[in-house]
Amino acid sequence: MDFDVKFSYASHKAVDEYNEAKALGVNTVPVLVGPVSYLLLSKPAKGVEKSFSLLSLIDKILPVYKEVVAELKAAGATWIQFDEPTLVKDLDA
């Protein structure tokens, strides 16, 4: 099943907050939810079968992450942390 899903870089909050801290003289490390967790914590739209693999959308979301990283790098970030909480949760038997 192929869905026409389009992700976009709509919120520049991470970059705005990085720039705000930088302007105050505070060197921060931006922390973002990683793409795997972002997808796995998402809820499928109405009408989408529960068996649909959210991870099948990884190739569609990675370009957005690339945009965020590029903008943070351009702002001066030298380190960006991606948290992937879904990779450390307990698995069902």
Q: How far is CA 43 from CA 11, 49, 71, in A?
A: 19, 11, 27
Is 41 domain-assigned? yes
Given a cut of 90, is residue 3 above it in pLDDT?
no
Which residue(s) pair with 82 in the sheet?
Answer: 32
Is 12 domain-assigned? no
Is 59 domain-assigned? yes
Is 79 domain-assigned? yes
Is 10 domain-assigned? no
Distance between CA atoms of 19 and 26, rounded to whole angstroms? Answer: 9
- Number of structural domains (the chain) is 1
Instruction: Give the global pTM.
Output: 0.85
Is 43 domain-assigned? yes
Is 19 domain-assigned? no
Instruction: Name the residue range of residue 35's domain.
Output: 27-87
Is 80 domain-assigned? yes
End-to-end CA distance of the chain: give it in Å, rounded: 28
CA-based nearest residue to 34, from 77, 2, 8, 68: 68
Which tens digit of pLDDT belongs to each residue from 65-86?
A: 999 999 999 999 999 999 999 9
Q: Which residue has the higher pLDDT, 31 or 3?
A: 31
